Amino acid sequence: MPSTRETILTALHTRLSALPATALRGEALPERVPTAGLLILRDGEPGEPEVTLSPLRYHYQHRAEIEAVVQGASRDTGFDTLCTSIGAALAADRTLGGLCDWVEAEAPQPVDLPVDGAASLKAAVIPVILHYSVSDPLG
């Protein structure tokens, strides 16, 4: 049985997979970026939990990351569309079906990356904070 953390990350990846962009999890940047863009979900860090007693609960603000990448002549518009679609997907269900207390994304800081012999990339890391509680930090 997967841990709560893995279940939440899988649900987030599933939510991203419903978008037009290709969504990967924990993989290296491929040589080609699909026309609709590319999203790579990184598991990130759960951080130090706050602990409550009676009953014992560990409250996490897990910081996952989405690497968003677009390429092509209209990369500015494509990047904006991609970020907007991520925001809409998260806002549609801030609890990922009741798995989290709350899910929120932080603003991206995009950069343009030149590519030899090809169109430049526009990319950013979008932090996603997953608020959840568990009774066991390994569960």
Amino acid at position 46, single letter: P
Give the span between the Cα atoms of 74 and 4, in whole angstroms. 39
The pLDDT value given to residue 128: 98
Of all residues in the chain, the percent with pLDDT exceeding 70 is: 100
**Tens digits of residue pLDDT in 79-103:** 999 999 999 999 999 999 999 999 9
CA angle 98, 101, 103 (to 5 degrees): 95
- Under 8 Å between Cβ of 130 and 62: yes
- What separation in angstroms does the CA of 81 have from each of 29, 94, 131? 20, 20, 26
Give the span between the Cα atoms of 111 and 122, in whole angstroms. 6
Sign of the torsion formed by the C-alpha atoms of 115, 13, 133 and 94 = positive
Query: Does position 31 have pLDDT exceeding 90, yes or no?
Result: no
pTM: 0.94
Top-confidence residue, 1 or 110: 110
Query: Does position 139 have pLDDT exceeding 90, yes or no?
Result: no
- Under 8 Å between Cβ of 61 and 122: no
The pLDDT value given to residue 132: 97
- Under 8 Å between Cβ of 34 and 50: no
- Under 8 Å between Cβ of 60 and 106: no
Hey, which of 23-32, 60-69, 109-118 has the most confident mean pLDDT?
A: 60-69
Going from the N-terminus, what domains does the chain have, and what CATH number goes with each?
4-134 (3.30.2000)
**Tens digits of residue pLDDT in 33-47:** 999 999 999 999 999
